[in-house]
Amino acid sequence: MAERTLPPGLDEAGFDRAINALRQTLGEGKVFATELDRNTYIDPYALGDGLDHAASAAVAPESVEEVQAIVRVANEHRLPLWPVARGKNLGYGAAAPVLAGSAVLDMTRMNKILDVDERFAYATLEPGVGFYQFHEHLTNNDIPLWMSVPANGWGSVIGNALERGIGYTPYGDHTSKLCGLEVVTPTGELVRTGMGAMEGNKSWAHYPYSFGPSWDQMFAQSNLGVVTKANMWMMPEPEMTAHTQVNLPEMEDIEWAMDILADLRLRGVIEHNVVFGNYLHDASAFTTRADWYDGEGPIPDEVAEKIQETYNVGWWTFHLSLFGDGSIVEAKQKIVSDAFEPRLGKKLEWRHWRKGQPREPFSIAVGVPMVLPLNVVNWMGGRGGHIGFSPVLPPSGELAYDAFLRRKRRFEEAGLDYYSSFTVGHRHIANVNMILYNRDDADMVRRTKELFTQMIADAREEGYGEYRTHIEYMDPVAETYDFNNHALMRLNETVKDALDPNGIIAPGRGGVWPARLRDGRKG
C-alpha cells in the first residue's frame, strides 16, 4: 500500500527524529506512524488513490499541555502538523492534509464537555466532542438547549464551526455561534480570544468581540493556530415549532420561489438555512443510480419524473421550519402561507410540535444528529465519493436561476448527474453543487476533476467564489480572490509568516503557504 511520504525538507532520519521526539514527549499510545495508521488517514472519498494528500503520521493529544508540547516539537523538527477535530470533513478531504507528509494533529481524544450553561444557553467544549456525544449529554441530562447539526453528524461541534459548516436550526451559521476560543499558537503559546483574554473574566461566553482587535474568525478555515476549546452559543428549546414542505414542479420555479424565500429570510420570518434542493436528494440517500437507470450520461427527464413521484418531491423541494413562542410561530405561519400559496395554487400543510412532546420532527431540522445522507456516495456505484462546489451568491431568484442553468449545463457536458442545493442563508445563497462519483472509475474521476476546475473558473468569471473547499482545490479557489492583484493573499502570507515562522501549522490550508514552502504551491 502506501509508501511513506515525508514532508518537504525532512529526510528519513530527520522525520524519524521528529517522531521519536514526539514519542518521548507524549509517552506511548499517542503517536501513530505505522503504514496502517497512515492508510487510515487517507481521504475515503479521494479523487484517485489519495496519496497526493497522504499523512506521514498522526499524533493524538489528550490535553492542552500536550498540544503545546507537540507544537514545540514540530517547530524544532520542522514537522508540519494538520489539525483536525474529529476529522470527518467528508467531501472536503476528511482528515487528510493539503500537504502530503504532514502529520495529522488529531484532537478526537480531547472530547470533554467542559461546561453547559442552561441559563445562558452556551457550552464550552473541546474539539473532539462529537454531535452524537453532545446530543446524548443534552438529552440524558434534560438540558433544554438544542444543538444545530450538519447533515453528516459524525463530526465535531467545534471542528464543523471552525470550518464554517452549517446546520438547519436558527443557530445553523455555526461559526457565528462561536464566542471565545482557546488557541495554541504556531509557536506553542496559549491564547484566549474575546473576553477570555482577561484572567477570570465572567463574560467570556457572553460577548464575542472583547476590547480592541477581535480574532475569533482568524482561526476559522485557517492555519494560524490550534483551537483547544471554544464556547458555543446554543438555542434555548422553543415553545413550539411548525414545519412544512414545499414542492416546486418546474425547474424555472426557482426564480420566483427564491425571491419569496430570500425576502422571508431577510426579514427574519424564516430563521434557518433552507436547503432548496433538486429532486435527487432523497433518491440518492436510499437508492443507487443503477436502480433507476443504467444508461450513460445524465439521467433522462422521464427518470427524473419517476424519482419525483416516488419520493413526493418536486423538481425542487425545500422544507421550512418556524421556531419560537406559540403566538409568534402562528403569526409567522400565516405570513409564510400567504407568501407562497397564491403562486403554488394550493395550501401549505403544516405540522406542529409543542414543548413537552417528544421532539418532532425527529431530524436535523430540530438539531437531532444523523448520518443517513452519507449514503449518497453509493449513487454511482463502486467505492463512491462526493465533492461539493459551493460558490456564494446573492439571494436573488434571477441570479440563482442563471447559476443553476450554467452549472447544470456543465454537469451534463461532463456526463454527471446534476445534484444541487441552493442553501439560503440570512443574506446569501451557498450553492452546493455536489458531484457524486465512483472512485474506482478513473474516467469518472477525471471528469469530476475537470468539472470542478471548470466550475471554479466559470464562477470566478460570473463574480462568485466558494465559501469552503476540498483540500485538492485550496490553491485554485484562493487564487480566485484576486482583488488588487491578490492583496488578500499577501496579507494572509504576511500574517502567516509572522505567527508561524517555521511554517508548522497546516501548510496550504486555505491556499496560504508559509514562506519556506511557498515555492511548492500548486496554484
Ligand X SMILES: Cc1cc2nc3c(=O)[nH]c(=O)nc-3n(C[C@H](O)[C@H](O)[C@H](O)COP(=O)(O)OP(=O)(O)OC[C@H]3O[C@@H](n4cnc5c(N)ncnc54)[C@H](O)[C@@H]3O)c2cc1C
The residue among 85 and 445 lying less far from ligand X, judged by its C-beta, is 85
Question: Minimum CB separation from other proteins for residue 60, in Å?
Answer: 4
Site membership for ligand X, residue 67 (CB under 6 A): no
Answer for which of 43, 66, 163, 271 binds ligand X (CB under 6 A) is 163
Residue 166 near which of other proteins, ligand X, none (CB within 5-8 Å, type-dependent): ligand X
Q: Taken in order 215, 216, 217, 218, is the CA torsion positive or negative?
A: positive
494 burial class (0-12, 13-18, 19+ CB within 10 angstroms)? exposed
Binding mask 88-127 for ligand X (x = CB under 6 A): xxxx---------------x-------------------x
Q: Name residues contacting ligand X, limited to 262-301 (CB under 6 A).
A: none
Task: Output b/e per residue, 269-285; b: 16+ Cβ within 10 A.
Answer: bbbbbbbbbbbbbbbbb
Q: Name residues contacting ligand X, limited to 226-265 (CB under 6 A).
A: 226-227
Rounded distance between C-alpha atoms, residue 128 and residue 111, angstroms: 4
The residue among 227 and 339 lying less far from ligand X, judged by its C-beta, is 227
Please report which residue ranges of 78-129 form alpha helices under DSSP H. none
Site membership for other proteins, residue 277 (CB under 8 A): yes
Site membership for other proteins, residue 223 (CB under 8 A): no
Helix (H, G, I), strand (E, B) or coil at 225: coil
Q: Which residues are catalytic?
A: 92, 467-468
Contact 204, 212 (CB under 8 A): no
Question: Minimum CB separation from ligand X for residue 366, in Å?
Answer: 14
Phi-psi region of 317 (alpha: psi -120 to 50; beta: other; left: phi over 0): beta
The residue among 86 and 135 lying less far from ligand X, judged by its C-beta, is 86
- Cell 477570555 belongs to 196
Question: Minimum CB separation from ligand X for residue 289, in Å?
Answer: 16
Question: Minimum CB separation from ligand X for residue 171, in Å?
Answer: 13
Question: Minimum CB separation from ligand X for residue 12, in Å?
Answer: 27
Q: How many CB atoms lie within 10 A of CB 343?
A: 11
Residue 155 near which of ligand X, other proteins, none (CB within 5-8 Å, type-dependent): ligand X
Across-strand partners of 352?
242
Residue 77 near which of ligand X, other proteins, none (CB within 5-8 Å, type-dependent): none
Rounded distance between C-alpha atoms, residue 190 and residue 398, angstroms: 48
For residue 45 the three cell numbers come to 472519498
Kindly list the residues in this chain that would bind ligand X in the complex (CB under 6 A): 83-91, 107, 127, 150-152, 155-156, 159-160, 162-163, 165-166, 226-227, 373-374, 376, 509
